Chain A
Amino acid sequence: MSGVLRWILTRLLVMGVTLLGASLVIFFALRLLPGGYESVVLGPLASEEQRQAAAERWGLDQPLWVQYWEWARGALTGDFGISLISQVPVLDELQLRMPVTGTLALMALAAAVLVGVPLGILTGLRSTRRSGGAAGRLVAGLGISIPEFVLGPAVLYVVSVRMSGFGVGSLSRLTEDPVGLVRALVLPAGVLAFSCVAVTARTTRDVVMGVLVEPHITAAVARGERPWHIVRHHVLRNSAVPILTLLGTITAYLLGGAVIVETVFNIPGIGSYMITGLGRQDYAVVQASVLLAATLFVVINAALEIAATFVDPRVSSKGRR
């Protein structure tokens, strides 16, 4: 078997193991929650018989390993069970919410790619110190120092008090009125984009500066290649893999549900689904949405890493040792 193929197979195996671990953690962590589902649904006044009947009905009286097995088997075939609170299949709800979270994520990601990456490259090419000048350090620091739960409400405040035009609180379906949906999501996406752009610019700058000092750049300068040519052919090409990896991580984070932004702006996406589910101990809902977030993270990262071996063969040989 060729080295690269073997490396890819190993990578996929590792991915499976990670997901198995993640599913175990989420399942058993939820079972540790105090209270239990029956008392949440039936309230504190329910009789012992009512509790038992409810537990039996939902299979909650079975041993935990059996419950886990049933859930995992269903999840593998796309059946995530039924929300214990709303009695709606979790999959239906996820399908309704994914386009919203997806649009939100795409908008923030676009900002990271279109603003963050060029900004990072430009500052990386010009810097003479690793952390840049005082002003640059201050601005870069500010970008990652303003949390979403501060920026979100601040934006809401300014908009609700001073201006209107960006709809707040009214959403449209992606399939019916995509423009309306995008317009409604401009503000929350802007809040998400703020930190995404800052992180992307910081990391890109770091990567570019790392490439700039490599010997092959010195060789290119010595050969008399023009700066722009060096940047395009040597610097950018060698910076691509780490930047793509970072963007993958950001995408996974955004798709997994931007919990705080979705809560602040009252957006019916994956993140707010997860949070309301957790508050009500709605096992099926939390399990499915957290597993979805973890799966996206693991799969996107693995896919990018595998793609990277084709762009840059050093990636897989490093893993092989």
Chain B
Amino acid sequence: MMTSTKLFVRRLLKDPLMLGAVAVLGVLCLLALVAAVVPFAGNPTEIKGMRLSPPSAEYPLGTDSIGRSLLPRLLEGIGVTLVISAVAVLITAVVSTAVGVVAGYAGGWTREIILRVVDVFYAFPAIVLAILVAAVAGPGRPAAIAAIVLVTAPLMVRMIAVQAANVAYRDFVTSARISGVRLPVILVRHVLSGVAGTLAVQVTYALAVGILVEGGLSFLGYGAQLPESSLGLLVQEGVVYMTAAPWMLFAPVAALVASILSITIVGDTLRDRLEPREVRSLT
């Protein structure tokens, strides 16, 4: 098992685009992590210099509207956004796997009821659902996390239920059932490993959606709150001072797009490898 996993990872990293995406993500995470432990770039909340001063040696990314250095705020923002999205997607993954596997394996009425409830949440436009959750929970980190979970879970439950149902009728599951293997063992050993690939792909895409939702929420004022910083919040501030201080917009936008893009590329590559399909060209 170990060797095949190693082989899989090695093959993935031979793909230059995938390698680039992983490198970008790694650098972003590392920078945010280091800045959180050792504030090498300065204190993100300290008011230091002139308001809206352009990038200089002292303030590598310039200062914001009340004179805070932008670089430490950006590093904090990357960290906050990635953590919010990661925590939310972790919750989504655990809940959706449990619910989806049960729905797919049990079938019948259990499956119908679960999928109908999922349908209800799927019917709301994502950003509306997110704002509603954030408004009810009160703006802030927990609200953003709850919103991302509610937005990403319906699709993931569906995908996992479909995949679990596919696995549930395979011969090796039937033979395990006939030979008296207990249900929890079947679910964990056979069904769970059968949906693992789908789960990995869906989790990656959900991470990108999480960053998008966090950004949208903060942009509309329902996400992370000042003096905290997050990518969405920084973009929103940048938009306000767009004409006077465009550097306030460029850096957060670059970080935001770079993280979503690299996560998407990782997702696409994983999907290619984990859900392989024959491909051919007509021409």
| Chain A residues at the B interface, C-beta cutoff of 8 Å | 14, 17-19, 21-22, 25-26, 29-30, 32-34, 125-131, 134, 137-138, 140-142, 144-150, 153-154, 156-157, 160-161, 209-210, 212-213, 221, 227, 230-231, 235, 253, 256-257, 259-260, 263, 274-275, 278, 290, 293-294, 297-298
A22 touches B127 (CB 8 A): no
A131 touches B271 (CB 8 A): yes
Bound Cα distance A150, B184 (Å): 46
Excluding A253-B125, A293-B124, 4 further A-B contacts by CB distance (< 8 Å) are A129-B272, A144-B260, A153-B242, A297-B123
Bound Cα distance A275, B125 (Å): 13
- Does chain A have a CB within 8 A of B149? no
A293 touches B279 (CB 8 A): no
- Does chain A have a CB within 8 A of B56? no
Given A18-B119, A134-B17, A141-B268, are A153 and B281 neighbors across the interface (CB < 8 Å)? no
A153 touches B249 (CB 8 A): yes
B260 to chain A: which residues have CB within 8 Å? 144-145, 147
B107-119 toward A: CB 8 Å interface, digit per residue (1/0)? 0000000001101
A29 to chain B: which residues have CB within 8 Å? 132-133, 136
- Does chain A have a CB within 8 A of B230? no
Shortest CB-to-CB span from B275 to chain A, Å, is 9
A14 touches B116 (CB 8 A): yes
Q: Which of B127, B215, B268 contacts A137 (CB 8 A)?
A: B268
A147 touches B212 (CB 8 A): yes
Q: Which of A14, A125, A138, A160 contacts B281 (CB 8 A)?
A: A125
Binds A, one of B29-37, B70-78, B187-195, B231-239: B231-239
A257 touches B128 (CB 8 A): yes
A212 touches B136 (CB 8 A): no
Shortest CB-to-CB span from B146 to chain A, Å, is 12
Q: Which of A130, A260, A298 contacts B220 (CB 8 A)?
A: A260
The dominant DSSP class at the B interface is: helix
B243 touches A161 (CB 8 A): yes
A128 to chain B: which residues have CB within 8 Å? 279-281
A153 touches B128 (CB 8 A): no
- Does chain A have a CB within 8 A of B135? yes
Given A22-B120, A131-B272, A145-B208, are A259 and B125 neighbors across the interface (CB < 8 Å)? yes
B281 touches A127 (CB 8 A): yes
B277 to chain A: which residues have CB within 8 Å? 130, 209-210, 213
B128 touches A290 (CB 8 A): yes
B253 touches A150 (CB 8 A): yes
Shortest CB-to-CB span from A20 to chain B, Å, is 9
Bound Cα distance A296, B30 (Å): 44
18 contacts between A and B (CB under 8 A): A14-B116, A25-B121, A29-B132, A125-B282, A130-B271, A130-B277, A131-B271, A137-B268, A141-B265, A145-B261, A148-B216, A149-B216, A149-B239, A157-B242, A212-B279, A259-B127, A263-B220, A290-B128
Shortest CB-to-CB span from B226 to chain A, Å, is 17
- Does chain A have a CB within 8 A of B138? yes
Q: Which of B120, B135, B265 contacts A21 (CB 8 A)?
A: B120
* Smallest CB gap from B211: residue in A: A147
Q: Which of A127, A137, A144 contacts B279 (CB 8 A)?
A: A127
B264 touches A160 (CB 8 A): no
Bound Cα distance A212, B279 (Å): 8
